[in-house]
Amino acid sequence: MPRIESKVRTLVSDDGMREAVETVLEATDDGDSEVQWLDVKGDLTSGQWGRLIEKEILVEGEAGFKLADPDATEAGLEPASSASSDTSIDTEIPDDDESSWSSYDKGAAVLTLGLFVGYSWKPLRDVIGTTMDIPLGPLQEFLPFYAVVMILALATGLYSTLLQANLMDMDKMGAYQERMQEIQERRKEAKEAGDDEALDAIQEEQMDAMGDQLGMFKEQFRPMVWIMFLTIPVFLWMYWSIGVGQNATAHTALDSLVLPLVGQVEWTESVLGPIQAWIVWYFLCSMGFTQIIRKSLNIDISPTSA
């Protein structure tokens, strides 16, 4: 238990607590037995006994109290210089190579960057719009355009949820977060104890853990690449259909749209600053359907504790 070692090291920096911990270790035969207050009251003050229990170095046993982790307690009594190599967080972080992007992921990222050009370059937008209109065009013959956008929002919400659930390693994300939380807790304890040497060691450990932040970013961005790869063509088709952008022509007959709290608006009318009505309608549908999908499929994309 790395936290026990850290707590012991913090405690023994105070006057008298080293002798208190050593006394308890001796009374428990190096952690093999339990100890009661009556056994050590002549060597410990009630305040020292209480601090050991408060810091959970001593935990309740069957007939008295026992050391939560005898080995970690002994390690915490060692000088910080000799134990510095043992004070690092031992939360298991999977090998980062396991989460390296595959050639497919990298290829999707490159193609996604190319698709972004379609937002500002009309020829590419027209090509993608015309291609996407082959499967989506027939929908407009049977449904109004706002219903087509709802179907697209449902589809994008479904595959976005499934991609995040399957491409993100939640256990690894949880391990990253747990390690950073443990470092923060140790830093707080060392700061409260005024242990400058421990603070310096923890600071170095934080710098080493910066690689974990990169690992978390890679885990989060991998599904986003595929989501954008599939979603950008949908957006470009809506651009093409509605006639968004310079020199653009609408390819769909559009009626007015009624938005909640706004009322009747045109599809390209700005309703939230520069944000146009069609974007607002899409995101309202997408957020609603995504929540329903996650609840229905019982999918939780929050990191799990390692």
pLDDT (tens place) for every residue of the chain, 306 residues total? 456 777 777 777 655 688 888 888 888 887 778 888 888 888 888 888 888 888 788 888 888 888 888 888 888 787 644 444 344 444 444 444 445 678 898 899 999 999 999 888 888 999 999 999 999 989 988 899 999 999 999 999 999 999 988 887 777 777 777 777 877 887 887 787 777 777 777 777 777 667 666 767 777 788 999 999 999 999 999 999 998 876 778 888 888 898 988 899 999 898 988 899 999 999 999 999 999 999 998 887 766 544
Helices (H), the chain: 2-11, 17-27, 37-40, 46-54, 70-77, 80-83, 103-116, 122-142, 145-167, 170-193, 196-208, 210-242, 277-297
Shared domain for 28 and 168, answered yes or no, is no
Shared domain for 266 and 124, answered yes or no, is yes
The pLDDT, as a whole number, for residue 88 is 44
Shared domain for 162 and 194, answered yes or no, is yes
In a domain, residue 306? The reply is no
pLDDT tens digit sequence for 169-201: 777 777 777 777 877 887 887 787 777 777 777
In a domain, residue 89? The reply is no
In a domain, residue 305? The reply is no
Residue entry with tokens 């599904």: 223
Shared domain for 129 and 200, answered yes or no, is yes
CA distance 119 to 238: 11
Q: How many separate domains does the chain show?
A: 2
CA distance 126 to 129: 5
In a domain, residue 134? The reply is yes
What are the tokens at 258?
Answer: 């009624």
Shared domain for 17 and 121, answered yes or no, is no
Its domain, for residue 53, covers 2-74
In a domain, residue 23? The reply is yes
pLDDT tens digit sequence for 225-234: 999 999 999 9
What are the tokens at 262?
Answer: 């706004």
Shared domain for 66 and 137, answered yes or no, is no
pTM over 0.85: no
Shared domain for 291 and 213, answered yes or no, is yes
